[in-house]
Structure formats: structure tokens, C-alpha cells
Amino acid sequence: MQKTTTRQLTPLASFGGPLSNRVYLSIRNAIFALIYQPGEILRKGEVCEILGVSRSPVSEAVAKLANEGLVNVVPQAGTFISRFSMAEIREGAFMREALELAAVEQVAQTITDEQLDMLRSNLDLQRGLVNDQDTFAFFQADGEMHGLILSFTGYENLARMAEYSWVQVDRVRHLHLPSPGRIQETLIEHTAIVDAIAARDSELARSVTRAHLGQLIKYLEPMEQERPELFDAT
């Protein structure tokens, strides 16, 4: 009997670019959405079956994921989804906070009406997603808002630097956003940031952004104790 699987990955048609990159993005989305759990083995054959591709693009995608620290390739054993590391999470959060505080301070001084409209449109989207309780889509809109603020500085590499430092943090956020009331709280915090930027108040913008970013560690530290199987013991 032919093997079947119920695991869902994002269809390759959702992405552009070379096949190996589309496979990489599909697996990466699944890792971030916790479809693949930390510590779980990533079976290339299963990925090939789900996405309808050969092993070659899957192997290329796995190599890229390994470079990001999202999977561990163990010779003679297999490929495993990386467990969360609180040390890496704290370091990533520290780096991201430094970048975002500098960015929001500048943007509060230089924001244009068009840019402000973009932030407010994003907030409107977030409100709709909160009403729909669509946590995953809210997560994406959340990232887009932070990306907009970084891009408004005019520094082309800033968003790339922030994304690189935030990989492990972004991934672990999927654990706490579904917590009861968290996306509603996040929307309130985001609204405070946009309101401070709109008021051209750099000091307030820094303050509310710092408070918002600081919520992550507060939520995650108890989770490390509650679900130790998801975290690296070292």
C-alpha cells in the first residue's frame, strides 16, 4: 500500500524563484508554524511526497536551513529540527531591540504621511485578524509592521540584519502568540508604537517599543520550564 501523510506544507506555487528555494521556503514556513516540532526528525522522503519533488531540491533546501540553524544534520542519523535555545533567543532579542529602538527613534522624526498611512493600514489588517482569531496571519502582519518601520529608515541592509538576528526569536514567538489574550495585547502595543510615531515623539516611541519587545522573554522563560522537550538543555 502506498504511504500517505496528513502533514500540510505550503504549496510550492505560493512562492517564486528556483525550485530549491521554493522547497526551502515551504519547509521553513512549516518549521516556524511548528508543523515540524523542535527535536523532530525531518524526513526528506516525506517532504518529497508532500511537495511532489525529487530529493535533490529537498537536499539543497535542507543545507540552507542548516546554515540558518533551523535544522541539525547528524551524519548516519538524519536531519532534526533544531530545539529552541534560550541563550540564542536572548542574544537575538538583544540585537533586535538595539536595531529597532534606533530605527523607531529616527522614523518618529522623519515619517511621511504616506508612510504613516502604510502603518495604519497594517494596523487595520491586524485588527481584522484579531477579530478572526487568525493567529498565524496576525504573526505575518506583525512582522510586516516591524519591517515597515525598519525600511522607513532608508537603510537597505537594516531589515536583513534584523531578520538574521531574529530567526530563532521569530520562530519561538509562535509558542506564545496563541496564549489567551496575547494577540489582543500585541495589537494594543503596536497601536501605541504607531501613535507615538504619528505624534513625532521619539522618546515615547522608544519607550513603547522597548516595552513591547520586552514582553517576549517574559512569556518564554516560564515556557522553558513547562515544555523542556522543546528547548536545548545546554
pLDDT at 1 over 60: no
The pTM score is 0.80
Handedness of CA 86, 87, 90, 91 (dihedral sign): negative
What is the rounded CA–CA span in Å between residue 214 and residue 26?
30
- The structural domains of the chain, ordered by start, are 12-81 (1.10.10.10), 86-230 (1.20.120.530)
Give the pLDDT of residue 225.
83
Give the pLDDT of residue 113.
97
Question: 144-177, pLDDT tens digit by residue?
Answer: 999 999 999 999 888 888 887 788 888 887 776 6
Give the pLDDT of residue 89.
87
Instruction: Report the residue count for the chain.
Output: 234
Q: Which residue has the cell 526528506?
A: 44
pLDDT at 234 over 70: no
Question: 112-129, pLDDT tens digit by residue?
Answer: 999 999 999 999 999 999
* First vs last C-alpha separation in the chain: 42
Strand-pair partners of 72: 80
The percent of residues in the chain predicted with pLDDT above 70, rounded, is: 96
What's the angle, vertex CA 44, arms to CA 5 and CA 38, rounded to 5? 80
Cβ partners under 8 Å of residue 44, min gap 6: 55, 58, 59, 62, 79
Residue 219 CB neighbours (<10 A): 16
CA distances from 212 to 3, 65, 91, 159, 230 (A): 46, 29, 17, 18, 24
* 57-61, 100-104, 130-134, 188-192: least confidently modelled range: 130-134
Tell me if 64 sits within 8 A of 157, measured CB to CB: no
Cβ partners under 8 Å of residue 104, min gap 6: 149, 193, 196, 197, 202, 205, 206, 209
Give the pLDDT of residue 220.
78
Max mean pLDDT among 81-85, 89-93, 213-217 falls in 81-85
pLDDT at 5 over 60: no
Give the pLDDT of residue 163.
80
Q: Which residues of 87-125 are buried (b: 16+ CB within 10 A; e: fewer)?
A: ebbbebbebbbebbbebbbbbbeebeeebeebbeebbeb
Tell me the pLDDT band of 3, cut-offs 50, 70 and 90: very low
CA distances from 227 to 28, 83, 84, 176, 192 (A): 22, 11, 11, 12, 32
Question: 31-62, pLDDT tens digit by residue?
Answer: 988 899 999 999 999 999 999 999 999 999 99
Tell me the pLDDT band of 6, cut-offs 50, 70 and 90: low
Cβ partners under 8 Å of residue 108, min gap 6: 196, 197, 199, 200, 201, 202, 204, 205
pLDDT at 178 over 90: no
Query: What helix, strand, coil percent values describe the chain, rounded to 5?
Result: 70, 5, 25
Give the pLDDT of residue 101.
97
